[in-house]
A = this chain, B = another copy of it.
Amino acid sequence: MPQYDQYEGFQVKSPDTWTEFHKQKFYTKPFGDYDVEIKIEACGVCSSDVHTISGGWGDQKFPLAVGHEIVGRALRVGPKVTLIKEGQRVGVGAQSWSCLECRQCKNDNETYCPKQRDTYGAEWPETGIVTQGGYSSHVRTHEHWVFPIPDELPSELAAPMLCAGITVYSPLVRNGAGPGKKVAIVGLGGLGHFGVLFAKALGAETWVISRTHSKEEDAKKMGADGFLATADKGWNEPHKMTFDLIISTANAFGSDFDLSGYLSILDVHGKWISVGLPEDETLQIKPQDLISNGVLVGSSHLGSRKEMLDMLKLAADKGIKSWVETVPISAENLSKTMQRLQNNDVRYRFTMVDYDKEFP
């Protein structure tokens, strides 16, 4: 494909060798009228990266550079671009395309467009070129999925908001989290910590539900109003039918996953929204657990451009600080970081930085 431009990035060659990253060149799609070309400066590390390269979410197109919490500079913009200016600091999240013409797209639901495409691992139909993620020198994306980053937000703190942040922000605002509402965040990991930060910033009474009390101090530092540990016998009893909304970041539905307990603390028609996506697991629901308070179980996928801009503005206005450990990008550090993430050895998010050394 010599007619196409090339970028360089850290790719994984197959799920069997998913802990090995190789810096190599790859082709990128032709520069379109609505495209923005971005020189990458930082990229957050998401569990999706591990699920994808290790094969947990099924077949993928290799070799592949993952990473979809990208912050960088707009090097150039296509002739029809109106949303982004050259030189602007911008972000790209987990989605990079949708049709922008269907009912969903026209309704600020472009993340639910049947034709939506991911930032990495998706095939551009015209060329067969596979989209590559942010552990790379550059990324080239339609302006709709490129977001100006407010000056107040450092790149390494803004990056993880672009997937983890929006994943919890969207269901919070769509389900009314705000003053007078009582919200629980299940699981205090990368997603959960943003759940607490944003639910508080939106004005909701915010509780964290975790297995044990080990993260209680962190939760309080993030601003949580209350903390419940499901390992405590009868943890749910005093809270029955008092919560309006639960955002669950749990990504395993094993035997210690107490769905009945979670649903019992919801008020009538309260919602349990899962934003964790387990590998090959099924959610088992007893109809009796739904009927006694008429609750709803659902899920949520990223958020719209409009919500992304609102979220970044809220973060800038309220001085929200993501809890981030920065790691200089390199093949070795990507390998170590992915393995630490898989072992839950992270509080609460990694951002790869120092791109200039590897991609001068």
Q: Is the CB of B282 within 8 A of A291?
A: no
**Residue A153 CB within 8 A of the other chain:** no
Q: Is the CB of A283 within 8 A of B285?
A: yes
Q: Is the CB of B297 within 8 A of A267?
A: no
How far apart sit A174 and B288, CA to CA, in the bound complex (Å)? Answer: 20
Closest to A299 in B: B290
Q: Is the CB of B286 within 8 A of A282?
A: yes
Q: Is the CB of A278 within 8 A of B287?
A: yes
Q: Is the CB of A104 within 8 A of B241?
A: yes
How far apart sit A299 and B266, CA to CA, in the bound complex (Å)? Answer: 13
Q: Is the CB of B301 within 8 A of A285?
A: no
With A268-B109, A284-B283 known to touch, is A292 a contact of B301 (CB < 8 Å)? Answer: yes
Q: Which residues of B contact A126 (CB under 8 A)?
A: none
Q: Is the CB of A287 within 8 A of B277?
A: yes
Least Cβ distance of A248 to chain B in Å?
10
Closest to A270 in B: B298
Pick from B112, B267, B284: contact of A103, CB under 8 Å: B267
Q: Which residues of B contact A107 (CB under 8 A)?
A: 268
Residues of A that sit less than 8 Å from B by CB: 103-104, 107, 109, 112, 114, 174, 240-241, 267-269, 271, 274, 276-278, 281-288, 290-301
